[in-house]
Chains A and B, each alone.
Chain A
Amino acid sequence: MSLELLLQAAVSGFLMGGIYALIALALALVFGVMGVLNFAHGDLLMIGMYGVVLVSAATGLSPFLAGIVMVPAMMAIGWVVFVLLIRPIVGSAPLVQAQLTIGLSFVIQSAALLWFGADLFNVPSELAASPIRLGAIVISLPLLIGFVVALVASGLLAWFLSATVWGYRVRATAEDPVMAQLCGVPVQRVQRWVFVCATGSLAIAAGCLMGFYHVTPVVGLQFSVLSLLIVVLGGLGDLRGAMVAALVLGVAEALTSAIFNSASAPAALYVLFGAALLLKPHGLLGRGAAV
């Protein structure tokens, strides 16, 4: 195993981590504002990925643009999901929330299997053929674009939360919904819009992913688990922590796969996760909720 190999893994893992960050941010925001840990998060993302495939095939748009086109559609889906399923379980026992969202994941996964079959879909792109080379290190162009788009989207989110009235309302709701309600924040409306926008942002993440990745009916579960790990690793309710955790996880994932050349390699990632959580129970930045 050469240094070059490790460097390559670290770089591509880091870029991947940027896209994970966008996915995990949406989950962290939903959890922060309504206390619901959404196990169907990855499946909502998967809907976005299928959407991107369809839009790209129909219009010839690049997956990144197709992702942006998909935003309103995903917001509409978020709206429906929130009204039908999420709102009734805000404040319920965690077990009920977990089970309901797992049920939703079930439904989305089987619906995808029904409509799209088990075949995998991707968006073939010319970009993949012309990577950027830095010495021996190769940077995939779609991955880089995905990283940048995800970074911009995350930056917009940070700006929105810290500099707009609605951002204050969101943060107030996350801090203490009862107090926010008393201060005149329309908590229900904030929660609905946060869920709608978080789901919408998944369309952008889906576009980033489809630049180089593929979609099958089972990818949802993988991304759900991944984003859950990130949110907990970053510290519950800590958005900046989630960003850092996503990057760390992306790099760790690539490095473990590069270092351990075995079927057991992914186990190392989960052991690392466990160890990190034990050492930093309040998140990597130590600022997560103690719930």
Chain B
Amino acid sequence: MKSTSEIAARPEHAPAGAIAAVLRSEGAVAALLVWVVVAIALTMLNGYWVSVAVMMLVWCYLCTAWNLIGGYVGQISFGHGAFFGVGAYCSAYLSTTYGASPWLGMILGMGLSAVLALAVGYIPFRRGLSHLVFALLTLALAYAALYGVSGVRALGGTNGMFMSLDETGLAALRFRDLWPYLIVMAAFNTVLLLVLQVLLNSRYGFIWRATRDNEAAAAASGINLFRSKQLAFAISAAATAVAGGFYAQFVGFIDPHSVLGVHVIIQILLFSVVGGTGTLLGPVVGTFVLFPLGEIMRVQLMSLEAGSHQLVYGVALVAVILLLPGGLIGVLRRAMGGRWFPAFSLAVPHGASAEPLPRRRAAEVEEGAPILIAEAVGRDFGGVVALRSVDLEVRRGEILGLIGPNGAGKTTFFNLLGGSFPPSRGRISLAGQRVDGLAPHECTQLGIARTFQITQTFASFTVAEAVFTAALPGRTFAEARSIAGRVLARVGLEARRDVACAELTLSEQRRLEIARALATGPSLLLLDEVMAGLTPTEVTGVIALVRSLRAEGITVVIIEHVMHAVMELCDRIVVLDAGAVIAQGLPHEVSRDPRVIEAYLGKRAQQFAAAATSGDADRHGGSPNDDV
């Protein structure tokens, strides 16, 4: 288990290594668990418990499939009942009406489910709508499918459909004995678990987890959130349909309520959450514990009043969720401590910092010529004008300071440059190319990288993973690994590479923000208050870092309230107030501009400031973290 770390990092280019990584992973252990159950069922248990084991594996499979979108990408789908039903109905309809093999129907069901998923996910994912909107849309899908099928005569309407009992064999997916069902379902589980493990070890694993942990940071890392979510949802939906096709043949009868009813998704959620989502083992363990327990309880408590077993079950469920956050796997994980599967560790050559940092695009403008031009850019929120009209030029190779009192619109301006939202008016161009209205990941890929005023971390990532993920879009694993190593060394986080992002100090979190931005390979770096709250020593370190970045040819725009740092660092300063540029020029010019002093300190201070020397002016605004 321990050596997973090194191998997990390079599956893309070494097939042998990739296979080894998969075999020693969580997915392989989960698959092994499935086969242990099969072995126990076939050797020690009687037929009834074998049939329970088959249904248990069906649920295990469903939970694993759901876990991809629900656990790894963090989008709760209530619509998996629909995908299950689509698989069941496709396979049932084709086999009973045209005598086609249920396998064919299953494949068709996979395709249909994927298409449905893409259709339902399109707008919420494209527009980046809330989790809840997605959840409720999928719930609506489930109900629409349930009632929709109920009215279709060809599908048996509410009467349901009977599978043909005549044929048996693998092609008909119908067997006289129970054990082949168990083997087939175990095989489905194994394939799904291993495919997911391979995907999770690939770039998609990083992309999906980053999407789940922090959408803003993921997008700023150049990840296309829409594609990330759509891909996961489609795979999850297609996989789910397979279980539906199997279920139809196994039970021999389907009707809308049994395969499309809400209880399908409720069970999936139940097993997954109790087991622990976002891990491959969680849903498997959750199902293996809860499903037999539910069966035992139904039988043992049968003599009691109706409903009592569900009551006990419900109480137990509530207790588990309240008392065991993270599910059963969470408990196991805490108990095992460091012996748990390490997710990832960078196998980067240390001391590679001498190499230049990556650059997404060699800037096509000459040194000193404008790289970024904003023309009359403005943004409104409802009736509130956040940014009136900003005209601004950033010249290649400079460090430009963007200052102004709180609420001046500085961060809004960064958000427009970074693509968080489009401007309401005006145009922005980078090296002659229009960039306004682009999505964040598109801006990142064009060479604009940003940090966030409130640091945005990936909760489940280590420092190295976070930086690696930001370097990944558009590059190979090897390239990304090398970039991550260099960037970590540059920002001074090399020693902390295997620490969870959430455990960093404030200063380290700021460095991680910069590292993430650098890893994308920017030609224009936007730093939003990276020094706020730092000690003077730490501030000095950041200043030196920014200078060295400029020395490598990265253009920097910096929002900062730590005035002495701004004065020391910036070549030019632009002052924003109330959503418009009120002054710009060299630091000492700006610091003496009466409009600036008025904006910062109000009218009365103006006279006081006028009497002061230029050196004093620095100190006036100079106390760290002085928000004035």
Contacts and interface: CB of A to CB of B under 8 A. Distances in A.
Interface in A238-291: 262-267, 270-271, 273-274, 277-278, 281, 289-291
Mostly, the B contact residues are: helix
B317 A94 contact: no
Interface centre among B137, B307, B325 (most CB of A within 10 A): B307
Contacts of A263: 147, 150-151, 157-158
A111 interface: yes
Interface string A92-111: 10111011101111110111
A281 B137 CA distance: 11
Interface stretch (B128-136, B166-174, B197-205, B469-477): B128-136
A236 interface: yes
B73 to A, nearest CB: 12
Interface in B46-91: 70, 74, 76
Contact of A221 (B133, B147, B262, B277): B262
A104 B148 contact: no
B604 interface: no
Interface residues of A, number: 48
Contact of B76 (A85, A95, A271): A95
Contacts of B325: 92, 96
A107 B311 contact: yes
Contacts of B315: 107
A135 interface: no
A96 B307 contact: no
Given A102-B266, A114-B306, A225 B147 contact: no
Contacts of B305: 114
Nearest to B71: A95
Contacts of A289: 130
A42 to B, nearest CB: 12
A265 B147 contact: yes
B144 A267 contact: yes
Nearest to B158: A263
Contacts of A117: 306
B318 A85 contact: yes
B308 interface: yes
Contacts of A264: 147-148, 150-152
A94 B266 CA distance: 15
Contacts of A106: 310, 313-314, 317
B76 A98 contact: yes
Contacts of A109: 307, 310, 314
B140 A229 contact: yes
Contact of B147 (A99, A110, A114, A267): A267
Interface in B176-229: none
B273 interface: yes
Contact of A94 (B76, B124, B306): B76
9 contacts: A37-B132, A98-B135, A107-B314, A113-B306, A229-B136, A229-B139, A232-B136, A274-B140, A274-B144
Given A103-B318, A110-B308, A111-B311, 13 more contacts: A37-B132, A92-B325, A95-B273, A102-B269, A113-B307, A228-B139, A267-B144, A267-B151, A274-B120, A274-B144, A281-B127, A290-B129, A291-B130
Interface of A: 37, 85, 88-89, 92, 94-96, 98-100, 102-107, 109-114, 117-118, 217, 221, 225, 228-229, 232, 236, 262-267, 270-271, 273-274, 277-278, 281, 289-291
